Structures are given as C-alpha cells and as structure tokens.
C-alpha cells in the first residue's frame, strides 16, 4: 500500500476513526485535568460530542435500526443536534444541563438499542452470508465492547448530573480513552468485513442529498449560529469561548477532509496522507475546544489563511476554463439560465465574504465586532443558499 494511493476506507469506518480520535483526546486531556496540569472547558466536551453525533447522522444516515435515506427527515434532527453542539461550545452555560442530558441519552439509549440489536436482530447490514465467519465474531465482540463503554460513560455523566459533589473525572477519562481505542478496533474490524464483502457496506450507498452538499451546509450553519450569537456577545450580554469557536471550525475542516476529500473549497486527492491530515485536524480542533486559550492564536492565523485561500480558489474556479467531460453539461436556457446566474452571484458573494472573514482573523480590530457578526450571518446564509442552488444545478445536469 502506497501512502499516495487513494484510500478505500468506507464512510462509516472514517467517521468511527474520527470519533475514536476525539474520545482519545478527551480522555488524555481529562487525565491531565485530574492531575491539575491543564484547565478544562466542560461545555466544550459535550458540545463537541453533540456536533459529532449530528454529523454522523447527517453523513451516514445511520440510526440505531440501520441505514436510512439522507432525506430531510434524517437531516433535520442531525442539524438540530449539531446546532445545539455549536451553541454549547460557543457560549458557556447557555443551554444549562441540556447538552449533558442529550449526550447521556445518545450514549445510553443508543448503546442499549444497538446492544439488543446486536444479539437479537435477524437481519444486520453487516451480518449476512458469513454469519459464522471469524471476522463477524470479531466485529460482534468489538461492537459489544463499544456498547458497554458507551453505557458506562452515560452512567458516569448521570452521576455528574445527579451527584455533582462526586468527582468522577478520572473514571470518565479512563472510559473515554478505552472507548476511543475500542472505536479504532471496531473501525479496523468493520473495514476487514467490508473488504471481504463490499456489498455489505451501506454507508456509501445511502441515497439522498450528496455528501458534498451536507458538509457544505455545516459551514453555513456554523457561520449563521456564530454570527447571531456574536450580536449579544458584542453587547456584553453573553460570555463566549474563543478557543472553542475556532476549535470546532477546525474539527469541521477535518471531518470534511475525511468524508469528501476537501477543505472549504480546496479539493484534494483522498489518499492516506490527506486522511492523516484530516485526523490531525480533528485532534487539534478537539484539543482547542476542550482546553481553553492554549492554541487559539495559532488557530486564528491558520483558519484565516485557509479561508482566504478557499475564497480565492472559489474565485479562480469561476473564471478558469472548464474541462471537457465525457458527459457534457446541458446548455442552460430560460429558468435554467437564471438559476446559473444566481449560482454565479452566490458563489461570488461567498468568495468575497470568505476573504473578508479570513482577513478579519489575521488583522486584529480591522473590522468591528458588529461588522464581523454581519459578515458571519451573510456568509452563513449565502453558503446555505449556494449549496441548495448548486444541488439543483447538479440535478438538472447543468454542472458536471
């Protein structure tokens, strides 16, 4: 296997690796917190987990009873969970104990349902023709271990909620570390099964909205939520967690890199090197969310440069000559022409807003706080509308 070759990892495996990386980071940080070596942003942990839960639901279409179409009936709950995660990270204590209860419910109820299904369901998407196979037994054991550890973490969170005087940070740290390792083992076992029986991989065959559109929407929701919250923050009405704001964005960069092979508008080959880059992004972003203010200045510079590059690259894609494809795009006429003009305007607006936002991160006080809030809101709205119009153009074969 060459590191420059394109990866054959399926979507579900990739997200398990990302989730495992986050749990390992959470566990390692909590161990140092228990030793008194690092500060700890509690809301950041729960917000980060909710964001990942929401992303998994939106991208894989996976629910406890199996895989479903990536329709709005699945996307909307995933979006709500993700937005709650954003709010939890951005503003300390804004939602009280709701994030803790949500994480506890998802870990607890979800693991119980999966555990029951693991042993009693007659038809499992990865258990079919090879019921007695050694790989299936290994996969079953790994899945059971993950379910048990998730249930344990749910119990520890419940203890923190009901008995806040009891310090269970060490236990939570060990549980998170073990769950991270178990998720890595589950990902490797699952990939072995999918390599043996490719037809059993349902995560990449889930119909519905494209993954590029789903991931593009996340930036829109991120910018829109952050922009709306920046208004009361600038008025001094709400506290804010600067490091978590930028850390979550880096996590989104990493997940986008892992899922669709791009970062903002920059497209790369999905090889093993880029997979490693995505995992590093997820780890660094998770660390920035959990540990306040330690790497925030470096992240702001990095994010600013990346978003500016993405904005200029988007402008470049609008003017560069189009490559000929085997299936040429349909020539737009009438309403289709209006749709393409709207798409061009939205892309141009989004590129300009990306450059403005990136520049504001590089040059302090260049744009006042209220101006940044307006830019973020406009950026979020334009990004969401752009993704919708782009999906329409692709459906009509106006873009190949």
Over residues 356-383, the mean pLDDT reads 93
Question: Taken in order 356, 361, 367, 369, is the CA torsion positive or negative?
Answer: positive
Banded model confidence at residue 399, pLDDT cuts 50, 70, 90? confident
Is there a single domain that holds both residue 55 and residue 81? yes
| Residue 357: predicted pLDDT | 95
Give dist(CA 122, CA 218) in Å, integer. Answer: 36
| Residue 35: predicted pLDDT | 83
Within-domain flag for 214:
no
Domain boundary residue, one of 250, 277, 294: 294
- Of the listed ranges 29-38, 207-216, 325-334, 375-384, the one predicted with least confidence: 325-334
Is there a single domain that holds both residue 136 and residue 259? yes
Is there a single domain that holds both residue 344 and residue 261? no
Domain boundary residue, one of 294, 310, 333: 294
pLDDT (tens digit per residue) in 148-199: 999 999 998 888 888 776 667 788 899 999 999 999 999 888 888 777 766 5
Range of 23's domain? Answer: 11-209+241-294
66 phi-psi bin (left φ>0, alpha ψ -120 to 50, beta other): left
Within-domain flag for 191:
yes
| Residue 130: predicted pLDDT | 47
Number of neighbours of residue 334 by Cβ within 10 angstroms:
7
Is there a single domain that holds both residue 118 and residue 204? yes
> Which residues fall within 8 angstroms of residue 309, CB to CB, at 6 or more apart?
264, 266
Of the ranges 120-129, 163-172, 336-345, the best mean pLDDT one = 336-345
Nearest to 167 by CA among 153, 156, 178: 156
Is there a single domain that holds both residue 158 and residue 191? yes
Within-domain flag for 5:
no
Give dist(CA 154, CA 148) in Å, integer. Answer: 10
Work out the percent of the chain whose per-residue pLDDT is above 70.
84
Nearest to 153 by CA among 183, 175, 186: 175
Asked if the model's pLDDT at residue 62 lies above 70, the reply is no
- Of the listed ranges 114-123, 136-145, 363-372, the one predicted with least confidence: 114-123
Within-domain flag for 318:
yes
Burial state string for 64-89 with b = 16 or more CB within 10 A and e = fewer than 16: eeebbebeeebbeebbebbbbbbbbb
Domain count, the chain: 2
> For the whole model, what pTM was predicted?
0.89
pLDDT (tens digit per residue) in 219-234: 999 999 999 999 999 9
Within-domain flag for 59:
yes
Is there a single domain that holds both residue 289 and residue 311? no
Within-domain flag for 227:
no
Within-domain flag for 230:
no
Domain boundary residue, one of 249, 265, 294: 294
- Hey, what are 389's tokens? 């119009």
| Residue 123: predicted pLDDT | 46
Contact 10, 194 (CB under 8 A): yes
Is there a single domain that holds both residue 334 and residue 254? no
Is there a single domain that holds both residue 247 and residue 325? no
Nearest to 255 by CA among 247, 263, 265: 263
Is there a single domain that holds both residue 381 and residue 253? no
| Residue 223: predicted pLDDT | 96
Q: Give the DSSP per-residue string, 185-213.
A: HHHHHHHHHHHH-GGG--GGG--BS-HHH
Over residues 252-259, the mean pLDDT reads 92
pLDDT (tens digit per residue) in 1-53: 555 566 778 888 888 999 999 999 999 999 998 888 888 899 999 999 999 99
Phi, psi (deg, nearest 5) at residue 396: -85, 5
Query: What's the N-to-C CA distance of the chain in angstroms?
Result: 31
> Which residues fall within 8 angstroms of residue 334, CB to CB, at 6 or more apart?
none
Asked if the model's pLDDT at residue 331 lies above 90, the reply is no
Asked if the model's pLDDT at residue 114 lies above 80, the reply is no
> Which residues fall within 8 angstroms of residue 133, CB to CB, at 6 or more apart?
196
Q: Which residue has the higher pLDDT, 383 or 115?
A: 383
279 CB-side CA count, 13 A:
20
Contact 380, 223 (CB under 8 A): yes
Is there a single domain that holds both residue 366 and residue 391? yes
Is there a single domain that holds both residue 86 and residue 163? yes
| Residue 293: predicted pLDDT | 87
- Of the listed ranges 169-173, 349-353, 371-375, the one predicted with least confidence: 169-173
Is there a single domain that holds both residue 357 and residue 288? no
Contact 264, 354 (CB under 8 A): yes
Within-domain flag for 327:
yes
């Amino acid at each position: 296997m060459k590191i420059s070759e394109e990866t054959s990892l399926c979507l579900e495996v990739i997200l398990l690796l990302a989730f495992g990386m986050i749990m390992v980071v959470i566990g390692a940080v909590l161990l140092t917190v228990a030793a008194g070596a690092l500060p700890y942003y509690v809301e950041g942990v729960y917000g980060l987990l909710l964001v990942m839960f929401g992303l998994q639901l939106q991208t894989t279409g996976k629910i406890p009873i199996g895989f479903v179409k990536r329709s709005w009936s699945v996307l909307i709950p995933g979006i709500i969970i993700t937005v709650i995660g954003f709010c939890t990270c951005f503003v300390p204590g804004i939602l009280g104990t709701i994030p803790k209860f949500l994480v506890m419910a998802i870990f607890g109820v979800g693991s119980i349902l999966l555990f029951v299904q693991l042993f009693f369901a007659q038809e499992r998407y990865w258990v079919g023709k090879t019921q007695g196979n050694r790989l299936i037994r290994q996969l079953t054991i790994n899945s059971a271990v993950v379910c048990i550890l998730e249930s344990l973490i749910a119990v520890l969170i419940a203890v923190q909620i009901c008995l806040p005087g009891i310090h269970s940070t060490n236990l939570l740290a060990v549980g998170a570390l073990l769950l991270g390792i178990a998720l890595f083992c589950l990902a490797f076992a699952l990939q072995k099964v999918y390599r043996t029986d490719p037809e059993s991989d349902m995560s990449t065959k889930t119909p519905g909205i494209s993954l590029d559109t789903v991931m593009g929407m996340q930036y829109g929701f991120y910018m829109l939520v952050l922009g709306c919250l920046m208004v009361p923050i600038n008025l001094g009405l709400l506290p804010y967690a600067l490091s978590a704001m930028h850390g979550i964005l880096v996590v989104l960069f990493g997940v986008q890199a892992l899922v669709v092979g791009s970062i903002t508008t920059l497209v790369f080959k999905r090889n093993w090197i880029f997979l490693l880059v995505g995992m590093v992004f997820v780890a660094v972003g998770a660390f920035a969310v959990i540990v306040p203010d330690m790497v925030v200045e470096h992240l702001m510079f990095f994010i600013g440069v990346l978003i500016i590059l993405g904005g200029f690259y988007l402008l470049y894609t609008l003017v560069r000559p189009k490559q000929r494809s085997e299936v040429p795009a349909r020539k737009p006429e009438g309403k289709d022409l209006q749709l393409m003009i709207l798409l061009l305007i939205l892309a141009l607006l989004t590129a300009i807003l990306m450059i403005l936002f990136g520049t504001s991160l590089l040059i302090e006080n260049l744009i006042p706080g209220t101006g940044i809030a307006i830019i973020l809101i406009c950026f979020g709205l334009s990004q969401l509308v752009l993704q919708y119009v782009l999906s329409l153009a692709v459906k009509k074969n106006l873009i190949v």
